[in-house]
Amino acid sequence: MAPPHGLLSTQVAVKGTFGPYISGILRPRMTEPGPLSEESAVDDLQTTVYAAELGWLSPVHRTWLDEVEQGRLAGLRRASDRDRFVLGTALLRCVIGDLMGGGPKLIKLDRRCLRCGAPHGAPKVIGLPGTVSVTHSGNRVLVAISENSRVGVDVEKMITRDIGEFADLVFSAEENSDVSAPEFYVAWTRKEAVLKATGDGLTRSMAEVVLGPVTERPRLRRLAGRPGWSGAIADLEVGAGYAAAVACLRPVSFGSGTEPRLRVDLAGPDRVRSLLGGRS
């Protein structure tokens, strides 16, 4: 989406998919039923992030969309929006198919909105333990998956604009809103990733997500209405001109109560392109 009792957080150093990156990926074990199981809850939060470029889109990817997704696609007016939606859906289906052992067309997705029931909500994978998140902006499409947390990911293409008009919408009174344009986008992606992880998305004000200084490592200080949750945020490097972040949250009862660490595994470009070219 274009911009533009407390929570615990921390960050790990990660390298970007389109620059130096962690070699390969570590596929999370998907064995326990349910969206978030006690057995998978450990002190360390974990997520795997897959990033793609719009140029990797293929005509076959559109054939993988189900009837609901085809209807949603038809409602998008701009060709660029349609391309990003198709690639995001195709990448999600490829990732889940690889994890669950099936072709992308066979994956069952539930897109019902939790508020109104219409099929425009964040995707949930039927039969998959864990949570997923999809984001796209400009030439970038990202998918994140986590077995042991609620995951949210956001990417924004940084454009030249007057950010002053958005400051009150993004920053709380406790935060410093006197930031540069790049820092504004960093704060935006960190906050939207958190809100996507909670399931609220931008139906909740970003000002309710209180972070540490934008020039420091991501730190989630407080999230209104979510006491008793712990979480972690990591910035992602996905190429010049973009800001991106991933957030993982979970109830404190699922861990030891200590400050969690976040492990981010980044799929390399060759791995992602291989998945997108997989069987249907």
Instruction: List, in sequence order, the alpha helices (H) in 3-132.
Output: 59-62, 67-74, 79-100
Q: Which two tokens stand for residue 273?
A: 């392109």
Distance CA 74, CA 237 (A): 32
- Average pLDDT score, the chain: 81
* pLDDT for residue 41 is more than 60: no
Helix then strand count (H, E) for the chain reads 6, 11
Q: What is the pLDDT of residue 271?
A: 96
Q: pTM here?
A: 0.82
What are the structural domain ranges in the chain? Answer: 38-53+130-276
* pLDDT for residue 251 is more than 60: yes
Query: Which are the contacts of 63, defined by CB distance < 8 A and separation ≥ 6?
Result: 105, 280
Q: What is the pLDDT of residue 16?
A: 38
- Partners of residue 245 on adjacent β-strands: 154, 235
Which CATH fold topology does 38-53+130-276 show? Ribosomal Protein L22; Chain A (3.90.470)
For residue 242, CA distances in Å to 154, 191, 257, 268 come to 10, 15, 34, 18
For residue 59, CA distances in Å to 62, 64, 85, 106, 277 come to 6, 10, 13, 18, 11
SS3 assignment, position 189: helix
Q: Which two tokens stand for residue 262?
A: 């976040």
Distance CA 196, CA 205 (A): 12
Type of residue found at 132 = V
SS3 assignment, position 212: coil
* pLDDT for residue 11 is more than 80: no
pLDDT, tens digit, 9 for 90 and up, residues 118-169: 777 778 888 787 899 999 999 999 999 998 899 999 999 999 878 888 888 8
| Residues 46/268, Cβ–Cβ less than 8 Å | no
Distance CA 25, CA 45 (A): 16
Q: What is the pLDDT of residue 81?
A: 96
More confidently predicted of 278 and 47: 47
Q: Determine what percent of the chain is predicted with pLDDT higher than 90.
A: 55
Q: What is the pLDDT of residue 82?
A: 97
SS3 assignment, position 270: helix
SS3 assignment, position 213: coil
* CA angle at 72 for the pair 68 and 77, rounded to the nearest 5°: 160
Exposed e or buried b for every residue in 101-121, given b needs 16+ CB within 10 A? Answer: eeebeebebebeeeeeeebeb
